[in-house]
C-alpha cells in the first residue's frame, strides 16, 4: 500500500481521491459507515468558504467538485458570491444534502480506485524498515496493513499521537453541537411571544435550558429558525473528551438536549406534526487536538495574511471561537486579506512519511477556529494526498519535495495554490 488515510471526513475524502488520482494505491480507513465526518455523521452540511472578496474563488479542487455536484444534483442554487460581505460571511457557505454528499464520495472513491474500509478503527502504528505497520480493528478483530505514508485525517490527531509525535490539546474546549433536521412546522407562522413565555415557564421547572435551542446562555430561537441544524451547545470537559466515558457522555448529553426540546415543542401549538427526521450520528466536535507541526499557524500570522514559501492552499474564514463566557469570539478578516496555509502545518515535528490534514493542522487555538472550516479542511486534505503521491513518485521525503512539483500537481487536479512571491 502506498498511502493509508485514517478518517473519511471531508479532509480524508479529498486526500484519498487525490492520492488515487495521482496514481497511488490508497486505503481509506473510517470508523463509521459513511464518508463526510462532521458534514454527514455530525449533521453540519454547510461547507465554506470557497470564495473571498468580490466573489473571487480561493478554494477549488476536489472539495469544490463534490460541493458543486451536490448542488447541481439537488437543483438548488449557489449563494451570490459576488456580493460577499465579511459581516455576513456565513451567508456564503454552500448548503449541501449530506446524503448526496456521501453517495458522491463513494462514487468518486470507486472511480479513482480508492480502497475503503468502513467500520474500521485505527488501533496502533509504528515505523519499521521505512514502512508504516498499521494495526486496524475491524469487526472480527485486529489486522495489519503496511503503507509508505500515513495521512492522519481523524479530526483528533489519533494517528499522530499513536505514532508517538507531539500533539496540542486546549485546556478548555469549545462546546460541541448535536445537530438534527426537523420537519412538521413552519417557522414563518409561529407565535414567538407565546413560545417565549412557554419556554421561560419550562425553564423555571428545569424542563429545558437556553443552550438546548441556541448558542447563548440567553434566550434564542436558533434551533427553530434552522430546523435543528447546528443550533445547540453541548458542553464537555476538555480533559475527558478523548476517554470512552467522556466521549460517550457527550453523545448522551446531546441526545438528552434533543429529547428536552422535542418534549417541550410537542406541547406547543404549531408543533403537532413535529418530526425529528435526521440526527447527526455523532455530536459535532468543534475543537480537540492539533498536531505540533513544523510550522504553526498563529492567529497574528493568519489575520495578517503571512505569505509562506511552501503555501499549499488558502484558508478564508474569520476567527470564530464558540466561547462559554463571551458567546462567540469573532475576528473578521480585513478587506483584501486571504490567509494562507503552509505545507509545514501538515507535517508533525520530527516525523517521517506522516502527514496531517483537516481540522488538526498545526495552528494556535484562535487560528484553528478559522482553519477548521470545511473548505479549508478539503483543501489541506487534497494537498496531503498530492504530497504523499509525489514523495512516493520521486522517492523523496517531505523535506526534499520540490514545492513547484506540488503546485503543478495540485493545479493539474483543479486546486488553487497561492502564488509564490
Q: Which residues bind ligand FAD (CB under 6 A)?
A: 6-12, 29-32, 37-39, 41-42, 44, 46-48, 93, 121-122, 153-156, 158, 177, 230, 284-286, 358-359, 372-375, 377
Residue 325: how many other CB atoms lie within 10 Å: 6
Minimum gap (Å) between residue 201 Cβ and ligand FAD: 29
Minimum gap (Å) between residue 94 Cβ and ligand FAD: 9
Minimum gap (Å) between residue 402 Cβ and ligand FAD: 27
Minimum gap (Å) between residue 276 Cβ and ligand FAD: 17
Minimum gap (Å) between residue 287 Cβ and ligand FAD: 8
CA torsion, ordered 270, 276, 277, 281, to nearest 10 deg: 160
Sign of CA dihedral 149, 152, 157, 159: negative
List Cα–Cα distances, 231 to 10, 49, 127, 234, in angstroms.
21, 19, 43, 10
Q: In the complex with ligand FAD, which residue's Cβ is closer, 255 or 307?
A: 255
Q: In the complex with ligand FAD, which residue's Cβ is closer, 242 or 298?
A: 242
Q: How remote is the C-alpha of 157 from its chain's centroid? A: 13
Residue 346: how many other CB atoms lie within 10 Å: 30
Minimum gap (Å) between residue 198 Cβ and ligand FAD: 26
Q: In the complex with ligand FAD, which residue's Cβ is closer, 202 or 212?
A: 212
Q: In the complex with ligand FAD, which residue's Cβ is closer, 7 or 61?
A: 7
- DSSP-derived pairing of the beta strands 26-29 and 3-6: parallel
Residue 74: how many other CB atoms lie within 10 Å: 13
Preceding amide of 107 cis, omega within 30: no
Q: In the complex with ligand FAD, which residue's Cβ is closer, 120 or 271?
A: 120
Q: In the complex with ligand FAD, which residue's Cβ is closer, 138 or 184?
A: 138
The three-state DSSP-derived secondary structure of 322-339 is: EECCCEEEEECCCCCCCC
Minimum gap (Å) between residue 404 Cβ and ligand FAD: 27
Pick from 150, 177, 67: which is nearest to 357 by CA? 150
Pick from 413, 304, 313, 316: which is nearest to 373 by CA? 316
Minimum gap (Å) between residue 274 Cβ and ligand FAD: 22
Q: In the complex with ligand FAD, which residue's Cβ is closer, 178 or 398?
A: 178
Q: In the complex with ligand FAD, which residue's Cβ is closer, 254 or 271?
A: 254
- What residues have CB less than 8 Å from 97, skipping those under 6 apart? 45, 70, 73, 74
Find cell 479530526 and name the residue.
155
Minimum gap (Å) between residue 391 Cβ and ligand FAD: 21
Q: In the complex with ligand FAD, which residue's Cβ is closer, 169 or 198?
A: 169
Read off φ and ψ for residue 386, nearest 5 degrees.
-70, -40
CA distance 35 to 12: 9
Amino acid at each position: 500500500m502506498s498511502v493509508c488515510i485514517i478518517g473519511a471526513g471531508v479532509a480524508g475524502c479529498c486526500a484519498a481521491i487525490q492520492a488515487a488520482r495521482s496514481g497511488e494505491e490508497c486505503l481509506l480507513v473510517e470508523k463509521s459507515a459513511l464518508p463526510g465526518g462532521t458534514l454527514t455523521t455530525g449533521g453540519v452540511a454547510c461547507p465554506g468558504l470557497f470564495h473571498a472578496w468580490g466573489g473571487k474563488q480561493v478554494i477549488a479542487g476536489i472539495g469544490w467538485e463534490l460541493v458543486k455536484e451536490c448542488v447541481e444534483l439537488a437543483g438548488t442554487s449557489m449563494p451570490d458570491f459576488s456580493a460577499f460581505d465579511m459581516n455576513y460571511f456565513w451567508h456564503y457557505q454552500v448548503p449541501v444534502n449530506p446524503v448526496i454528499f456521501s453517495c458522491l464520495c463513494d462514487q468518486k472513491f470507486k472511480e479513482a480506485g480508492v480502497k475503503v474500509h468502513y467500520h474500521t478503527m485505527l488501533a496502533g502504528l509504528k515505523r519499521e524498515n521505512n514502512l508504516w505497520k498499521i494495526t486496524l480493528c475491524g469487526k472480527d478483530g485486529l489486522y495489519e496493513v503496511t503503507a509508505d505514508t500515513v495521512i492522519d485525517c481523524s479530526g483528533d490527531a489519533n494517528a499522530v499521537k499513536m505514532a508517538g509525535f507531539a500533539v496540542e490539546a486546549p485546556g478548555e474546549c469549545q462546546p460541541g453541537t448535536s445537530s438534527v433536521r426537523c420537519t412538521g412546522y413552519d417557522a414563518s407562522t409561529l407565535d414567538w411571544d407565546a413560545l417565549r413565555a412557554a419556554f421561560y415557564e419550562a425553564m423555571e421547572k428545569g424542563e429545558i435550558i437556553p443552550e438546548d435551542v441556541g448558542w447563548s446562555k440567553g434566550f434564542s430561537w436558533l434551533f427553530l429558525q434552522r430546523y435543528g441544524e447546528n443550533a445547540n451547545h453541548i458542553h464537555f470537559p476538555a480533559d475527558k473528551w478523548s476517554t470512552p466515558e467522556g466521549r460517550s457522555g457527550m453523545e448522551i448529553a446531546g441526545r438528552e438536549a434533543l429529547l428536552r426540546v422535542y418534549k417541550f415543542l410537542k406541547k406547543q401549538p404549531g408543533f403537532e406534526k413535529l418530526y425529528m427526521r435526521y440526527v447527526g450520528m455523532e455530536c459535532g466536535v468543534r475543537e480537540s487536538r492539533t498536531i505540533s507541526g513544523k510550522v504553526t499557524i498563529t492567529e497574528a500570522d493568519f489575520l495578517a495574511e503571512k505569505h509562506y514559501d511552501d503555501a499549499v492552499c488558502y484558508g478564508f474564514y474569520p476567527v470564530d471561537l464558540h466561547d462559554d463566557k463571551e458567546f462567540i469570539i469573532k475576528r473578521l478578516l480585513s478587506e483584501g486579506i486571504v490567509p494562507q496555509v503552509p505545507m509545514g502545518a501538515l507535517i508533525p515535528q520530527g516525523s517521517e512519511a506522516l502527514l496531517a490534514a483537516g481540522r488538526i493542522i498545526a495552528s494556535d487555538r484562535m487560528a484553528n477556529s478559522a482553519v477548521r472550516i470545511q473548505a479549508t479542511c478539503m483543501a489541506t486534505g487534497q494537498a496531503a494526498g498530492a504530497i504523499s503521491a509525489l514523495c512516493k513518485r520521486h522517492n523523496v521525503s517531505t523535506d526534499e519535495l520540490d514545492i513547484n512539483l506540488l503546485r503543478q500537481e495540485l493545479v493539474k487536479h483543479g486546486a488553487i495554490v497561492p502564488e509564490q512571491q
